[in-house]
Structure 1
Amino acid sequence: MNFFRTKCIDKLKEGAEQQGLKKSLGATDLILLGIGCIIGTGIFVLTGVAAANYAGPGIMLSFVISGLACAFAALAYAELAAMVPIAGSAYTYSYAALGEIVAWIVGWNLILEYSVGSSAVAAGWSGYMVGLLKSGGIELPKAFTAVPADGGLVNLPAMLIALLLSVLLVRGTKESVTLNKVLVVIKLAAVFIFLALAGPKVNPANWSPLMPYGFSGVAAGAAIIFFAYIGFDAVATAAEECRNPKRDLPAGIIGSLVICTILYIVVAGVLTGVVPYQQLNNAEPVAYALRAIGYNFGSALVGTGAIAGITTVLLVLMYGQTRIFFAMSRDGLIPARICKVHPRYGTPHIITMAAGIAVALIAGFTPIGIIAELTNIGTLFAFVVAAIGVLVLRYTRPDIPRSFKCPAVKVIAPLAVLSCGYLMANLPAETWIRFGIWSAIGFVVYFVYSYHHSVLNKAEVAGKE
Structure 2
Amino acid sequence: MNKIWKRFSYKEDPQVYLKKDAHLHQVLTVKDFLALGVGTIVSTSIFTLPGVVAANHAGPAVALSFLIAAIVAALVAFAYAEMSSSMPFAGSAYSWISVIYGEGFGWIAGWALLAEYFIAVAFVASGLSANFRGMLEPLGVHVPAQLANAFGVSGGIIDIISVIVIALVAYLLSRGASGVAKVENLLVILKVCAILVFILVGLKAIHIENYFPFIPEYTVHSDGTSFGGWHGVYAGVSAIFLSYIGFDSIAANSAEAKDPAKTMPRGILGSLLIAVILFIAVSLVLVGMFKYTSYANNAEPVGWALRQAGHPIIAVVVQGIAVIGMFTALIGMMMAGSRLLYSFGRDQMLPKWLGVLNKNNLPGNALIALTVISIILGSVFPFEFLSQLISAGTLIAFMFVTIGIYSLRKREGHDIAEPEFKMPLYPVLPLVAFLGTLAVFWGLDYHAKLYAGIWFLIGLVVYFMYGMRKEKIKS
TM-score norm. by structure 2 comes to 0.93
* Alpha-carbon shift at residue 309 of structure 1 (Å): 2.2
- Distance in 2, Cα, partners of 1:134 & 1:50: 27
- Distance in 1, Cα, partners of 2:362 & 2:410: 36
1:10 aligned onto 2:18: no
Greater CA drift, 396-405 or 65-74: 396-405
Which residue of 250, 254, 266 maps to 1:239?
A: 254
* Alpha-carbon shift at residue 80 of structure 1 (Å): 0.6
1:57 aligned onto 2:60: yes
Which residue of 111, 115, 120 maps to 1:117?
A: 120
- Equivalent residue for 1:256? 271
Q: What are the superposed Cα offsets for residues 264-290 of structure 1, whole Å, 9 maximum, x if unpaired?
A: 001100011101222223221111110
- Equivalent residue for 2:184? 180
Q: Tell me the matched-pair count.
A: 455
1:429 aligned onto 2:434: no
* Alpha-carbon shift at residue 47 of structure 1 (Å): 2.0
Superposition map of 1:135-154 within 5 A: 135-147=138-150, 148-154=152-158
- Distance in 2, Cα, partners of 1:307 & 1:406: 36
Superposition map of 1:207-218 within 5 A: 207-212=211-216, 213-218=228-233
Match of 2:281, SS state, is helix
1:44 aligned onto 2:47: yes
- Distance in 1, Cα, partners of 2:161 & 2:244: 25
- Equivalent residue for 1:83? 86
| Structure 2 residue identity aligned to 1:176 | V
Superposition map of 1:43-442 within 5 A: 43-147=46-150, 148-212=152-216, 213-280=228-295, 281-344=297-360, 346-397=361-412, 399=414, 400-442=417-459
* Alpha-carbon shift at residue 11 of structure 1 (Å): 2.3
Greater CA drift, 357-366 or 118-127: 357-366
- Distance in 2, Cα, partners of 1:245 & 1:135: 47
- Distance in 2, Cα, partners of 1:121 & 1:417: 28
* Alpha-carbon shift at residue 151 of structure 1 (Å): 2.5
Q: What are the superposed Cα offsets for residues 387-438 of structure 1, whole Å, 9 maximum, x if unpaired?
A: 1111111124453412111111212111110111100000001111111111
- Distance in 1, Cα, partners of 2:412 & 2:310: 60
- Distance in 1, Cα, partners of 2:32 & 2:46: 21
| Structure 1 residue identity aligned to 2:327 | T
User: Contact 2:412–2:418 at 8 Å: present in 1 too?
Assistant: no
* Alpha-carbon shift at residue 89 of structure 1 (Å): 0.8
Match of 1:79, SS state, is helix
| Structure 2 residue identity aligned to 1:300 | V
| Structure 1 residue identity aligned to 2:455 | W
- Distance in 2, Cα, partners of 1:249 & 1:94: 18
Match of 2:204, SS state, is helix
Q: What are the superposed Cα offsets for residues 236-293 of structure 1, whole Å, 9 maximum, x if unpaired?
A: 0110111110110000000000011011001100011101222223221111110111
Match of 2:48, SS state, is helix
Q: Can you give the 5+ residue segments of structure 2 that lack an aligned partner in the other structure?
A: 217-227
| Structure 2 residue identity aligned to 1:145 | A
| Structure 1 residue identity aligned to 2:17 | L
- Distance in 2, Cα, partners of 1:373 & 1:354: 22
Match of 1:230, SS state, is helix
| Structure 1 residue identity aligned to 2:444 | L
| Structure 2 residue identity aligned to 1:339 | G
- Distance in 2, Cα, partners of 1:143 & 1:54: 35
Which residue of 445, 451, 461 maps to 2:468?
A: 451
- Distance in 2, Cα, partners of 1:459 & 1:401: 27
- Distance in 2, Cα, partners of 1:459 & 1:190: 51
- Distance in 1, Cα, partners of 2:244 & 2:323: 18
Q: Can you give the 5+ residue segments of structure 1 that lack an aligned partner in the other structure?
A: none
User: Contact 1:66–1:226 at 8 Å: present in 2 too?
Assistant: yes
| Aligned Cα root-mean-square deviation (Å) | 1.3
User: Contact 1:58–1:218 at 8 Å: present in 2 too?
Assistant: yes
Greater CA drift, 50-59 or 233-242: 50-59
| Structure 1 residue identity aligned to 2:14 | I
Greater CA drift, 209-218 or 78-87: 209-218
- Distance in 1, Cα, partners of 2:45 & 2:426: 29
User: Contact 2:61–2:233 at 8 Å: present in 1 too?
Assistant: yes
Greater CA drift, 279-288 or 77-86: 279-288
Identity %: 33
User: Contact 2:346–2:356 at 8 Å: present in 1 too?
Assistant: no
User: Contact 1:4–1:99 at 8 Å: present in 2 too?
Assistant: yes
- Distance in 1, Cα, partners of 2:104 & 2:263: 30
User: Contact 1:163–1:356 at 8 Å: present in 2 too?
Assistant: yes
- Distance in 2, Cα, partners of 1:222 & 1:43: 14
* Alpha-carbon shift at residue 174 of structure 1 (Å): 1.3
* Alpha-carbon shift at residue 382 of structure 1 (Å): 1.0
